[in-house]
Amino acid sequence: MKADFWHQRWQRNQIGFHQREINTHLQAFWDRLDLAAGCPVFVPLCGKSRDLLWLRSRGHRVLGVELSPIATRAFFDENRLEPVTHTPAGPFERFEMDGITILCGDFFRLTADRLEGVCGVYDRASLVALPPPMRPDYARHLGAILPPDACLLLVTMEYPQQQMQGPPFSVGEAEVRQLFGDRFLIEPLYRQEILDENPRFRDKGLTALEEKVYRLSPPPA
């Protein structure tokens, strides 16, 4: 799955993964990360998610990274924000407004200096957007660029993968532990069967669909 796939999805407005409302799991479990007030947080593959606004309302400075210029501009346009834009210097174009910054470019070209001071990460639509061969690279790169004391709130989906072609892809707990277990302590926080609430997935052939929430934290020193 290459960059062109996501550019085409946004160009064709095939963005069923986008949520119009603030994610309920974010609201319910963000405080479980026990982050310092006002610390910077990171949202990988952020799209045009309004969750960025919620995180900012909690006092955090928010950094997102998004591949699609369409999604990046739509976030600010749809929320009636006028960002300051910066001519690309390196691999990203920078959009920022009132404590929210989106770097438009390839997540895998992010370096640790851009995430300096980040204490928390919110991943609702990043890991599940990636096919199996890309997920280890994503986990390794995220672990390499994050400060050592950063925590994550991770939301995944589980379903019989043979019943539907992703994205979103099914990511089970065993894989979460395999991907992140050498860097983080992994604590399941919540699980819920959501197929009845999402009939479009039943229409695609799914017989089960579960959403899970995890807290990933650095081990004690």
Q: Measuring CA to CA, which residue among 95, 183, 102 is closest to residue 138? A: 183
Q: Is 45 annotated as a binding residue?
A: yes
**Tokens at 125, concatenated:** 């639509």
Q: Are 44 and 121 in contact (CB under 8 A)?
A: yes
Q: Is 10 annotated for ligand binding?
A: yes
Binding residues for S-adenosyl-L-methionine: 10, 45, 66, 124
